[in-house]
């Protein structure tokens, strides 16, 4: 290898980063620059420095050949720990259960981003643990080739690296084609969040060019003038300088050397390609053959495959490989057994372009067959084998392998990779449907494809795409039970679109076709109908259907599905106001789920039990449930779950009047939201903290938090939250006697609230406006506002909210001296809350009633 030249500035920055990482302030760097400028070389050079100063160093190259989610991350972890790659493949606990419960499965898909966060968190915890003991430098070369899972991990890491003994560097080329690509978007976001430093490498200047030239051609006397010409021809790009110098070294004399420099009037890249080919031409036949095969196999390739694919004796092959390595074409990948890679894509491109198309097809076919023979059963190689078959013209086989790889990607919640492969499959779809319409195996494959495509589209909330794809599968399907499952999936997507009637219609039609004894499918369809009614707000009907679905589940020998049915039933009953029965059903679900150790599901049930206990005003019990849920979520790394649990517990402390504790919890929530980068949760946490300070009448602090929440809300376009917070700020101004500002803000909030179309926000804001007017002693206008809010709640059957507005109205009537009206309302409200047994409200109402009876004997 040629001696290292220049790059002092960049090395200094990286070394500063290394020292920071050593003291626990980890850093992330991206090294960018055009192809051949020296990105890879820079990290190699820096890696040496790290190792010399006792920093453990891992370098991994990303490669296109393998569409495997998190591949590089797993490779790094495998190198850093004793954990084997394949055990890293298992998903976090509680994720792999399949119950035959179609809607639950789809729900899981819809929560894909949340689940992905769990996976990312799990990886992060590995890194945190390793870097507790030693400082580690991780370099990922060519991250433009990384899968989307890996990119999201890099993003996740960037938010957390600052407190770790870790240094991370990624390289990527600056190319037009990459604009708006996933990698550029990821880095842009990390950069906006100020969690990285981007180092852009420039080509060499003339001095550096000279140094490199002298270093390569050490026995040659290179005239000063020639350096200038080399600099001009290569633009100072180290890769080109090297190639040019190597070609010159092949010349006989200085005279030829000058002739050579005049060679080719071509533009640089084409020129370089010619230079490369010229040099390749001088290789012996064996080496040339090996190089061609390498180009077909891709940027990295396995020695075993190469050995079988070339018609060469092993010693000859080894000679050829050594020769190619000495000439700088290929190199061994460190720490990996018998895997080689090309030093440059430019070389692959050049060599590959010289292979004739028919021969290419043959070579890809052979490559596909061999990799299939050795690694065909390993899903990691699915994408690679698929690519070779497609390139060889065997679309059917290629499609099949892609299908496996894409399914694997989705199972690992790497949606973008799945989509990428699905796109490729869609492209070749016409090729494989020709003349095979009646073939059963072929039909099955297509059904699988449409099903996967539908699942993937559901995952990314492309509901129309999902429906269309499931319908394609439905058309090919003849089995009525499979049809039932597909119908549930279609219905769930209509539900997500808010098309309840449509969803109900197709489910009803389907339910009539399913045979009596197909309990599982019937139960799925009826359960889904229950969900439709729940979404419409018809809880009585919803519970009816849940009950039917539950009865069918009981006849199945499938406890896990039964538990889901209990859970659904209990939750439905809770919404329909039958808290006691709801609790019993949830407890049944809990018992089964515990027996099967379904962690995530247990946490889900605990959470809903917490809600019931809150309604029942058994606050200690509620806290107990939420805390149990939180513990499980923490264990399995489901930070969204942890966040929700914190939120719920904080809400209870707030109800109990313990605002300090509520704030403390909300702050933990805030910290987690920042860790996961969930801006929605971050905003809710900030608003929650603001609200607590508001209750404590610490208006400045409240304002500060509200303001931050608002900023976030505006950034992510959450109008609902922005309007609601504006309302609270308005109220605060009114309480300080600052009415001008209060009225202005509340009007802003209301018009924004109307824009959002959420009736509950609007009603909440109208109530707020009423309170402001009441404080300002404009009682008639206040009454008008309360009545408007009340009407909205009544129209939408939001009974509890209506009651709370009624309570405000009663207090207003007290202020207005309309005591009889106030009394009547208070009694109605009291009866309602007594029925629900909500103690905190009962207390408040009784207090008002007492005051009334004192002043009005």
Ligand X SMILES: Nc1ncnc2c1ncn2[C@@H]1O[C@H](COP(=O)(O)OP(=O)(O)OP(=O)(O)O)[C@@H](O)[C@H]1O
Quote the distance between the C-alpha of residue 760 and its chain's center. 30
Output 6 or 94, the one with its CB closest to ligand X: 6
Measured CA distances, 843 to 806, 826, 839 (Å) = 16, 12, 6
* Least Cβ distance, residue 482 to ligand X (angstroms): 48
Output 269 or 376, the one with its CB closest to ligand X: 269
Which x/- pattern, by CB under 6 A, does the window 120-159 give for ligand X?
A: ----------------------------------------
CA angle 813, 818, 824 (to 5 degrees): 80
Binding window for ligand X (CB under 6 A); candidates: 33-41, 106-114, 725-733, 777-785: 33-41
**27, 41, 568, 659: which one binds ligand X (CB under 6 A):** 41
Segment 40-79, which members bind Mg ion (CB under 5 A)?
40
Q: Answer yes or no whether residue 648 interacts with Mg ion by CB under 5 A.
A: no
* Least Cβ distance, residue 342 to Mg ion (angstroms): 10
Q: Answer yes or no whether residue 35 interacts with ligand X by CB under 6 A.
A: yes
**d(Cα 171, Cα 32) in Å, to the nearest integer?**
6
Output 212 or 370, the one with its CB closest to ligand X: 212
- The number of beta carbons lying within 10 Å of the beta carbon of residue 412 is 20
Output 35 or 443, the one with its CB closest to ligand X: 35
**5, 55, 532, 772: which one binds ligand X (CB under 6 A):** 5
Binding window for Mg ion (CB under 5 A); candidates: 36-44, 346-354, 718-726, 769-777: 36-44
Q: Using an 8 Å Cβ cutoff, are 603 and 640 in contact?
A: no
Burial annotation 707-743 (CB, 10 A radius, 16+ → b, else e) = ebbbebbeeeebbbbbbbbbbbbbbbbbeeeebeebb
Q: Answer yes or no whether residue 344 interacts with ligand X by CB under 6 A.
A: yes
Dihedral sign from CA coordinates of 704, 706, 711, 715: positive
Segment 155-174, which members bind ligand X (CB under 6 A)?
173
Q: Using an 8 Å Cβ cutoff, are 565 and 103 in contact?
A: no
Q: Answer yes or no whether residue 239 interacts with ligand X by CB under 6 A.
A: yes
The number of residues that bind ligand X (CB under 6 A) is: 21
Q: Which does 345 bind (CB under 5 to 8 A by kind): Mg ion, ligand X, none?
A: ligand X
Segment 481-540, which members bind Mg ion (CB under 5 A)?
none
Output 273 or 568, the one with its CB closest to ligand X: 273
Residue with tokens 């009005």: 856
Q: Answer yes or no whether residue 668 interacts with Mg ion by CB under 5 A.
A: no
Nearest to 49 by CA among 7, 104, 86: 7
- The number of beta carbons lying within 10 Å of the beta carbon of residue 512 is 7
The number of residues that bind Mg ion (CB under 5 A) is: 2
**d(Cα 168, Cα 153) in Å, to the nearest integer?**
12
Dihedral sign from CA coordinates of 256, 261, 265, 269: positive
**14, 76, 212, 484: which one binds ligand X (CB under 6 A):** 212
Q: Which does 35 bind (CB under 5 to 8 A by kind): Mg ion, ligand X, none?
A: ligand X
Dihedral sign from CA coordinates of 227, 230, 236, 241: negative
Q: Answer yes or no whether residue 343 interacts with Mg ion by CB under 5 A.
A: no
Output 35 or 197, the one with its CB closest to ligand X: 35
Output 202 or 760, the one with its CB closest to Mg ion: 202
Binding window for ligand X (CB under 6 A); candidates: 339-347, 357-365, 416-424, 688-696: 339-347
Nearest to 697 by CA among 731, 746, 653: 731
Output 143 or 414, the one with its CB closest to ligand X: 143
Nearest to 602 by CA among 646, 649, 635, 557: 635
Binding window for Mg ion (CB under 5 A); candidates: 35-43, 121-129, 473-481, 492-500: 35-43
Output 197 or 756, the one with its CB closest to ligand X: 197
* Least Cβ distance, residue 72 to ligand X (angstroms): 15
Q: Which does 583 bind (CB under 5 to 8 A by kind): ligand X, Mg ion, none?
A: none
Q: Which does 38 bind (CB under 5 to 8 A by kind): ligand X, Mg ion, none?
A: ligand X
* Least Cβ distance, residue 346 to ligand X (angstroms): 7
Q: Using an 8 Å Cβ cutoff, are 330 and 321 in contact?
A: yes
Segment 272-291, which members bind ligand X (CB under 6 A)?
none
Quote the distance between the C-alpha of residue 581 and its chain's center. 37
Report CA dihedral (290, 292, 298, 302) to the nearest 10 degrees: -10
- The number of beta carbons lying within 10 Å of the beta carbon of residue 326 is 8
* Least Cβ distance, residue 36 to ligand X (angstroms): 5
**251, 345, 511, 796: which one binds ligand X (CB under 6 A):** 345
**d(Cα 159, Cα 154) in Å, to the nearest integer?**
9
**17, 26, 36, 94: which one binds ligand X (CB under 6 A):** 36
Nearest to 165 by CA among 313, 18, 340: 18
Ranked by CB distance to Mg ion, the top (closest) residue is: 40
Q: Which does 99 bind (CB under 5 to 8 A by kind): ligand X, Mg ion, none?
A: none
Segment 383-422, which members bind ligand X (CB under 6 A)?
none
Q: DSSP alpha helices (H): ranges in 639-738?
A: 639-655, 659-676, 679-695, 699-715, 719-735
**d(Cα 412, Cα 167) in Å, to the nearest integer?**
26
* Least Cβ distance, residue 237 to ligand X (angstroms): 8
**39, 364, 400, 568: which one binds ligand X (CB under 6 A):** 39
Q: Which does 750 bind (CB under 5 to 8 A by kind): Mg ion, ligand X, none?
A: none
Binding window for Mg ion (CB under 5 A); candidates: 38-46, 224-232, 461-469, 544-552: 38-46
Q: DSSP alpha helices (H): ranges in 84-139?
A: 85-88, 102-110, 112-133
Q: Which does 404 bind (CB under 5 to 8 A by kind): ligand X, Mg ion, none?
A: none
**d(Cα 159, Cα 349) in Å, to the nearest integer?**
37
Output 4 or 126, the one with its CB closest to ligand X: 4
* Least Cβ distance, residue 35 to ligand X (angstroms): 4
**d(Cα 553, Cα 585) in Å, to the nearest integer?**
14
* Least Cβ distance, residue 294 to ligand X (angstroms): 16
Q: Max alpha carbon distance in the chain (Å)?
A: 121
Nearest to 490 by CA among 511, 514, 460, 465: 465
Q: Answer yes or no whether residue 10 interacts with ligand X by CB under 6 A.
A: no
- Helix-helix angle 599-615:559-575, to 10 degrees: 20
Chain residues that interact with Mg ion, rule: CB under 5 A: 39-40
Chain residues that interact with ligand X, rule: CB under 6 A: 2, 4-7, 33, 35-41, 173, 212, 238-239, 242, 343-345
């Amino acid at each position: 290898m040629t001696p290292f030249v220049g790059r002092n500035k960049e090395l200094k920055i990286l070394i500063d980063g290394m020292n920071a990482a050593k003291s626990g302030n980890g850093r992330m760097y991206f090294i960018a620059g055009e192809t051949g400028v020296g990105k890879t070389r820079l990290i190699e050079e820096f890696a040496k420095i790290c190792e010399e100063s006792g920093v453990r160093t891992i370098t991994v190259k990303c490669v296109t050949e393998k569409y495997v989610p998190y591949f590089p991350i797993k490779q790094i972890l495998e190198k850093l720990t004793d954990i084997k790659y394949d055990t890293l493949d298992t998903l976090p606990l509680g994720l792999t259960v399949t119950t035959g419960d179609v809607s639950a499965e789809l729900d899981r898909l819809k929560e894909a981003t949340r689940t992905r966060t769990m996976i990312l968190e799990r990886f992060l915890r590995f890194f945190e643990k390793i870097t507790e003991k030693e400082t580690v430098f991780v370099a990922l070369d060519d991250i433009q080739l990384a899968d989307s899972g890996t990119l999201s991990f890099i993003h996740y890491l960037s938010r957390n690296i600052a407190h770790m003994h870790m240094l991370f560097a990624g390289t990527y080329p600056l190319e037009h084609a990459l604009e708006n690509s996933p990698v550029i978007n990821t880095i842009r976001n990390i950069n906006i969040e100020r969690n990285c430093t981007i180092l852009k490498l420039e080509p060499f200047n003339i001095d550096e060019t000279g140094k490199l030239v002298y270093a390569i051609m050490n026995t040659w006397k290179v005239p000063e003038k020639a350096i200038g010409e080399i600099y001009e021809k290569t633009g100072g790009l180290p890769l080109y300088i090297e190639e040019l110098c190597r070609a010159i070294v092949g010349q006989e004399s200085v005279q030829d050397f000058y002739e050579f420099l005049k060679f080719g009037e071509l533009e640089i890249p084409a020129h370089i390609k010619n230079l490369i080919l010229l040099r390749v031409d001088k290789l012996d036949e064996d080496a040339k053959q090996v190089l061609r095969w390498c180009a077909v196999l891709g940027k990295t390739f396995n020695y075993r495959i190469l050995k079988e694919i070339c018609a060469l004796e092993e010693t000859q092959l080894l000679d050829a490989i050594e020769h190619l390595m000495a000439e700088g074409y290929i190199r061994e990948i460190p720490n990996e057994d018998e895997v080689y890679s090309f030093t440059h894509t430019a070389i692959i491109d050049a060599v590959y372009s010289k292979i004739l198309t028919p021969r290419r097809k043959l070579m890809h076919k052979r490559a596909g067959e061999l990799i299939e023979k050795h690694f065909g059963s390993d899903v990691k190689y699915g994408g690679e084998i698929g690519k070779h078959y497609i390139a060889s013209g065997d679309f059917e086989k290629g499609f099949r392998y892609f299908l496996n790889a894409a399914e694997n990607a989705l199972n690992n919640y790497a949606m973008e990779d799945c989509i990428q492969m699905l796109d490729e499959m869609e492209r070749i779809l016409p090729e494989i449907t020709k003349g095979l319409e009646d073939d059963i195996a072929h039909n099955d494959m297509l059904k699988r494809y449409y099903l996967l495509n539908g699942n993937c589209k559901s995952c990314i909330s492309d509901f129309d795409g999902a429906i269309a794809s499931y319908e394609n599968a439905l058309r090919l399907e003849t089995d009525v039970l499979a049809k039932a499952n597909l119908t549930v999936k279609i219905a769930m997507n209509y539900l997500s679109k808010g098309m309840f009637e449509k969803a109900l219609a197709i489910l009803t039609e389907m339910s009539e076709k399913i045979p009596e004894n197909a309990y599982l499918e019937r139960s799925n369809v009826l359960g889904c109908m229950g969900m439709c009614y729940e979404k419409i707000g018809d809880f009585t009907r919803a519970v009816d259907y849940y009950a039917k679905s539950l009865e069918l589940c009981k006849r199945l020998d499938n406890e896990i599905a039964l538990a889901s049915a209990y859970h659904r039933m209990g939750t439905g009953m809770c919404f329909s106001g039958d808290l006691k029965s709801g609790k019993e059903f949830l407890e049944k679900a809990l018992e089964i789920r515990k027996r099967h150790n379904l962690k995530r599901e247990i946490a889900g049930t605990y959470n809903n039990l917490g809600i019931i206990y809150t309604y029942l005003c058994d606050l200690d019990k509620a806290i107990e449930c939420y805390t149990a849920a939180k513990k499980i979520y923490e264990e399995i790394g489901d930070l969204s779950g942890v966040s929700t649990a914190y939120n719920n517990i904080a809400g209870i402390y707030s109800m109990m009047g313990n605002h300090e504790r509520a704030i403390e919890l909300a702050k933990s929530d805030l910290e987690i939201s920042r860790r996961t980068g969930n801006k929605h949760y971050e905003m809710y946490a900030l608003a929650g903290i603001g609200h607590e300070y508001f209750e404590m009448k610490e208006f400045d602090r409240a304002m500060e938090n509200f303001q931050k929440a608002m900023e976030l809300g505006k950034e992510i376009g959450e109008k609902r939250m922005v309007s609601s917070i504006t309302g609270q700020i308005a109220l605060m101004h009114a309480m300080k006697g600052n009415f001008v500002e209060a009225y202005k803000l509340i009007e802003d909030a209301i018009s924004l609230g109307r824009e959002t179309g959420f009736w509950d926000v609007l009603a909440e804001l109208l109530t707020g406006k009423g309170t402001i007017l009441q404080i300002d002693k404009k009682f008639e206008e206040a009454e008008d506002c309360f009545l408007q809010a009340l009407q909205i709640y009544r129209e939408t059957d939001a009974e509890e909210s209506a009651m709370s507005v009624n309570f405000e109205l009663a207090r207003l009537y007290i202020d207005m001296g309309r005591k009889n009206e106030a009394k009547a309302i208070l009694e109605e409200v009291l009866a309602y809350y007594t029925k629900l047994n909500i103690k905190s409200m009962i207390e408040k109402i009784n207090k008002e009633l007492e005051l009334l009876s004192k002043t009005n004997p």
